[in-house]
Amino acid sequence: MAEKDSSSDRGGSKRSAKPTINDVARLAGVSKKTVSRVINRSPLLNEETRERVEAVIRRLGYVPNPQARALALGRNFLVGLIHDNPNAQMVLNVQQGILEALQGTDFEMVVRPVDRNSSMMLDDVRAFLERQRLFGVVLLPPISEDDSLARLCDEVGCRYVRMGSVQLDDAAHMVASNDREAVREAITYLIQMGHRLIGLIEGPDGFRSARERRLGFEDALSTAGIGLPRSLIAAGNYTFETGVSAANRLFDLSPRPTAIFASNDEMAAGIVYAARERGVSVPDDLSVIGFDDTPIAAHIWPPLTTVRWPIVSMARSAARKLVGDVVDGEAPDDQPSMLASMLIRRGSVAPPPRT
Amino acid sequence: MAEKDSSSDRGGSKRSAKPTINDVARLAGVSKKTVSRVINRSPLLNEETRERVEAVIRRLGYVPNPQARALALGRNFLVGLIHDNPNAQMVLNVQQGILEALQGTDFEMVVRPVDRNSSMMLDDVRAFLERQRLFGVVLLPPISEDDSLARLCDEVGCRYVRMGSVQLDDAAHMVASNDREAVREAITYLIQMGHRLIGLIEGPDGFRSARERRLGFEDALSTAGIGLPRSLIAAGNYTFETGVSAANRLFDLSPRPTAIFASNDEMAAGIVYAARERGVSVPDDLSVIGFDDTPIAAHIWPPLTTVRWPIVSMARSAARKLVGDVVDGEAPDDQPSMLASMLIRRGSVAPPPRT
DNA sequence: TTGTACGCGTTATCAT
DNA sequence: ATGATAACGCGTACAA
């Protein structure tokens, strides 16, 4: 069925048949190459010729065929998003940022989830990149923290920008946030409210973001001269469920912490949920601070005080670093490589209960 | 800067230089076309030759170049997801479903948001489709409900599958859920619990899903012989905020409804939030049912009783309809066109308060 | 500053 | 059942 079919309409019906570069060249009375130069904004080109060609292009409504360009250039006009299924909202926000950056360009976004626990991960990505010949990729945490992935991109000649919670590459290849500093401020706020017994629900082992946020937490405490018993730190893995169970572990402590910081909002929502189950009132008995400012933060009761992670801006910046120099001649580091987080105060924090 | 660069490594370094169809042909002692036939599973082909060629393909690790195929075929190996920013979780679930279906195939997914309020929407999509020459697209509600969009796909020769809450195309081009029936069951459950004064928060005008869900609501009530005063129906647009304000409007009624059904979970979460603000206890004073079963439903307190919308399965099915016949010879309607929703009972429903 | 001729890797036509 | 040859539309040496 693959041999005789497809008679549909290659050459096209009546007015169909998109104009090609040849049509433009012919009507403009120049050669293909000249048209090509116009398309690719070659600097060495007579202004007059350019305008003439551009006029014809407009008149014909000509647009270069991406498939042909891809073949000739050995590179596609696609920006890839490679991620390992971190939380849903984050992936979506990143997509939004990338799409904003690609808006109005000839680039499209292709999404590629991978499995960081698979031993084939690197091979998969390599096959993907070599086959699709993407223009560039945006790497999301946690896999963005893997240096071998970045090297792989280099090897196969694919541009890349990594996103993360700490600068682990040069400005052209990295967009980071200042998680550590942001968390320090959040915890300092808690301390200023009078809290002394503050619990932490950590992110998963091996996540750089988890580490940075814990460091910020510890910084604030030690700056204030507050000790941090190991028992006040509970493990989590960024899911709602681990937030619930970690919170319950913390609730069993005596004395019980008067405030808990969770390394992300999902877990913070888990704390609030667990508190409800146990009859612990937030914020009267317990203050809670999350991280990310995903929609759920404002949609639960009480609305969560949290650190807003500028993920959309980060992604937008990352994508612009990728395509900026071809769409508007920007250098890859004209775009910021560090976006600041900020504390959003809502209803889940209050002074500690009086004893 | 576009003229003299790119000397990087076209032909490639040492072992680089991916094998092409020519290499395979030469080493197998056949012509390009024969190799091409093997790749495309042409039926008319000597079994012996096929095996010989396949052996060489495996030995070389040859994989056809998608860019070249795209140019020759006039069609890309990309499946598009066209949507108009409905809720975030939904888009993500759809992506997951599509990616599951594309897993292991040569297809990739490209995401394309559009603006249904723009007068340019159709033109934008047309330009996109004509330029990228996608293999096919999945259309999400609400724009999937727009027949002119479907016609457009036909015109430009792009396969499509529409997703929605009601069958508005033939089985090969549609994957639907049974929202109306599902809502009827949910409301019937409420009635069986003893509720008589049941409020509805509607989805936005013009959304087919909103209409179907309202019809299911009305069906259940009229079947039970319960009247539905207009005042018990509040408008919403699927956002948390409209859920809050609609709930407040319903709360002002006297007598106050003992239960409210919201056309999606976001608005249902808004009801719960508003109830908390007003000191109305859920489920003791008020029962709430949502629709979708997005993560927030299980993450707020009390956890929401809701209708689980099988969006991931729907998307998977849609994508399989698109690519099935080329990857495993399935007919487009070997995949189900109707997926059933089901009621998930959690903690937001109880018998009405006794007066 | 512009044009000629050819290559990119695959599929389609039409013969054999 | 298989092969020679011409598209597909664009970019690039290299020449002019």
Read off the pLDDT of residues A130-149 as tens digits, 9 standing for 90 and up. 999 999 999 999 999 999 99
Whether residue B12 is predicted with pLDDT greater than 50 in this model: the reply is no
Which residue in B3, B109, B299 is closest to A296 by CB distance? Answer: B299
Give a three-class secondary structure readout of chain A.
CCCCCCCCCCCCCCCCCCCCHHHHHHHHCCCHHHHHHHHCCCCCCCHHHHHHHHHHHHHHCCCCCHHHHHHHHCCCCEEEEEECCCCHHHHHHHHHHHHHHHCCCCCEEEEEECCCCCCCHHHHHHHHHHHHCCCEEEECCCHHHCHHHHHHHHHCCCEEEEEECCCCCCHHHEEEECHHHHHHHHHHHHHHCCCCCEEEECCCCCCHHHHHHHHHHHHHHHHCCCCCCHHHEECCCCCHHHHHHHHHHHHCCCCCCCEEEECCHHHHHHHHHHHHHHCCCCCCCCEEEEEECCHHHHHCCCCCEEEECCHHHHHHHHHHHHHHHHHCCCCCCCCCCEECCEEECCCCCCCCCCC
> Cβ of A327: how many Cβ atoms within 10 Å?
15
Q: How many helices (H) and strands (E) does chain B have?
A: 13, 12
Whether residue B171 is predicted with pLDDT greater than 90 in this model: the reply is yes
Q: Could you say which nucleotides of strand D lie within 7 A of any protein CB atom?
A: 1-13
Which chain B residues are Cβ-neighbours of A273 within 8 angstroms?
A: 299-301
The distance of A73 to chain B (nearest Cα, Å) reads 9
Quote the CA–CA distance of A187 and B242 in Å, as a whole number. 33
**Contact between A343 and A189 (Cβ < 8 Å):** yes
Judged by a CB distance cut-off of 8 A, whether residue B17 touches chain A is: no
Structural element, H or E, at residue B162: strand B159-164
Pairing of strands A159-164, A136-139: parallel
Dig out the tokens for B216 from the structure. Answer: 């299911």
**What's the pLDDT score for residue A7?**
33
Give me the residues paired with residue B343 across strands.
B307
Whether residue B294 is predicted with pLDDT greater than 50 in this model: the reply is yes
Whether residue A266 is predicted with pLDDT greater than 50 in this model: the reply is yes
**Contact between B168 and B330 (Cβ < 8 Å):** no
Quote the CA–CA distance of A290 and A294 in Å, as a whole number. 10
Quote the CA–CA distance of A18 and A7 in Å, as a whole number. 17
Which chain B residues are Cβ-neighbours of A70 within 8 angstroms?
A: 67, 70-71
The tokens 């049941």 sit on which residue?
B198
Q: What is the mean pLDDT of residues B223-241?
A: 96
**What's the pLDDT score for residue A2?**
36
Q: What is the mean pLDDT of residues B102-112?
A: 94
**What's the pLDDT score for residue B14?**
36
How far, in Å, are B6, B95, B115, B164 from residue B85 at the CA level? 38, 13, 8, 15
Whether residue A315 is predicted with pLDDT greater than 50 in this model: the reply is yes
Pairing of strands B108-113, A108-113: antiparallel
The model's confidence at residue B235, banded by pLDDT at 50, 70 and 90, is very high
**What's the pLDDT score for residue B45?**
82
Q: What is the mean pLDDT of residues A3-11?
A: 35
What pLDDT, in 10s, does the model give residues A214-261?
Answer: 999 999 999 999 999 999 999 999 999 999 999 999 999 999 999 999
**What's the pLDDT score for residue A10?**
36
The model's confidence at residue B2, banded by pLDDT at 50, 70 and 90, is very low
Whether residue A305 is predicted with pLDDT greater than 80 in this model: the reply is yes
Task: Specify the DSSP class assigned to residue B297.
Answer: H
Greater pLDDT, A3 or B204: B204
Which chain A residues are Cβ-neighbours of B300 within 8 angstroms?
A: 269, 273, 299-301
Query: Which of A27-31, A133-137, A251-255, B3-7 is least confident?
Result: B3-7
Whether residue A9 is predicted with pLDDT greater than 60 in this model: the reply is no
Judged by a CB distance cut-off of 8 A, whether residue B76 touches chain A is: yes
Whether omega before B353 lies within 30 degrees of 0, making that bond cis, reads: no
Judged by a CB distance cut-off of 8 A, whether residue A130 touches chain B is: yes
Q: What is the mean pLDDT of residues A281-292?
A: 98
Quote the CA–CA distance of A154 and A142 in Å, as a whole number. 19
**Contact between A112 and A136 (Cβ < 8 Å):** no
Strand order in the sheet with B259-262: B233-234, B198-201, B259-262, B287-292, B305-308, B342-344
Ranges A31-35, A44-48, A272-276, B71-75, most confident: A272-276
> CB less than 7 Å from strand D: which protein residues?
A 11, 18, 20-22, 32-33, 36, 39-40, 62, 64-65, 68-69, 71-73; B 2-4, 6-7, 29-34, 37, 44-46, 48-50, 68, 71-72, 74
Dig out the tokens for A4 from the structure. Answer: 């005789």
**Contact between A308 and A341 (Cβ < 8 Å):** yes
Which homologous superfamily is A19-64 in?
A: lambda repressor-like DNA-binding domains (1.10.260.40)
How far, in Å, are A243, A266, A317, B319 from residue B266 at the CA level? 21, 16, 30, 26
Quote the CA–CA distance of B189 and A318 in Å, as a whole number. 49
**What's the pLDDT score for residue B4?**
34
Q: What is the mean pLDDT of residues A328-341?
A: 86
Whether residue B13 is predicted with pLDDT greater than 80 in this model: the reply is no
Summary mean pLDDT of chain A: 91
Taking an 8 Å cut-off on Cβ atoms, the answer to whether B108 and A132 are in contact is: yes
**What's the pLDDT score for residue A88?**
84
Query: Which of A312-316, B16-20, B48-52 is least confident?
Result: B16-20
**C-alpha atoms less than 13 angstroms from C-alpha of B344 in its C-beta half-sphere:** 20
What pLDDT, in 10s, does the model give residues B320-354?
Answer: 999 987 777 778 778 899 999 999 999 999 999 98
Dig out the tokens for B104 from the structure. Answer: 């292991």
Quote the CA–CA distance of B351 and B198 in Å, as a whole number. 12
Give a three-class secondary structure readout of B117-145.
CCCCHHHHHHHHHHHHCCCEEEECCCHHH
Range 260-299 of A in CB contact (< 8 A) with B:
266, 269-270, 272-273, 276-277, 295-296, 298-299
**Contact between B39 and B56 (Cβ < 8 Å):** no
Alpha-carbon Rg for chain A in angstroms: 26
Residues 6 or more apart whose CB falls under 8 angstroms from that of B43 comprise A1, A3
Fold of B179-309: Rossmann fold (3.40.50)
Q: What is the mean pLDDT of residues A186-197?
A: 98
Whether residue A162 is predicted with pLDDT greater than 60 in this model: the reply is yes
Dig out the tokens for B30 from the structure. Answer: 């056949």
CATH code for the part of the protein at A70-177+311-340: 3.40.50.2300
The domain limits of chain A are 19-64, 70-177+311-340, 179-309
Protein residue with the closest CA to the C1' atom of nucleotide C9: B68
* Exposure letters B238-277 (e unless 16+ CB within 10 A, then b): bbbebbbbbbbebbeeeeebbbbbbbbbbbbbbbbbbbbe
Whether residue A328 is predicted with pLDDT greater than 80 in this model: the reply is no
**Contact between B315 and B86 (Cβ < 8 Å):** no
Taking an 8 Å cut-off on Cβ atoms, the answer to whether A157 and B8 are in contact is: yes
Taking an 8 Å cut-off on Cβ atoms, the answer to whether B91 and A92 are in contact is: yes
Three-state DSSP state, B324: helix
Task: Specify the DSSP class assigned to residue B351.
Answer: P
Which of A37, A103, A108 is the best residue to mutate to test the B interface, defined by the most B CB atoms within 10 Å of its own CB?
Answer: A108
Whether residue A14 is predicted with pLDDT greater than 60 in this model: the reply is no
Task: Specify the DSSP class assigned to residue B40.
Answer: T
Q: What is the mean pLDDT of residues B273-295?
A: 97
Dig out the tokens for A344 from the structure. Answer: 């959003």
What's the angle, vertex CA B265, arms to CA B295 and CA A260, rounded to 5?
Answer: 45
Which chain A residues are Cβ-neighbours of B295 within 8 angstroms?
A: 88, 240, 296
**Contact between A124 and A82 (Cβ < 8 Å):** no
What pLDDT, in 10s, does the model give residues B253-277?
Answer: 999 999 999 999 999 999 999 999 9
**Contact between A249 and A278 (Cβ < 8 Å):** no
State residue B249 phi and psi, 5-degree precision.
-60, -45
pTM for the full predicted model: 0.91
The model's confidence at residue A16, banded by pLDDT at 50, 70 and 90, is low
Q: Are domains A19-64 and A70-177+311-340 of this chain identical in fold? A: no
The tokens 């920007």 sit on which residue?
A330
Pairing of strands A78-83, A108-113: parallel
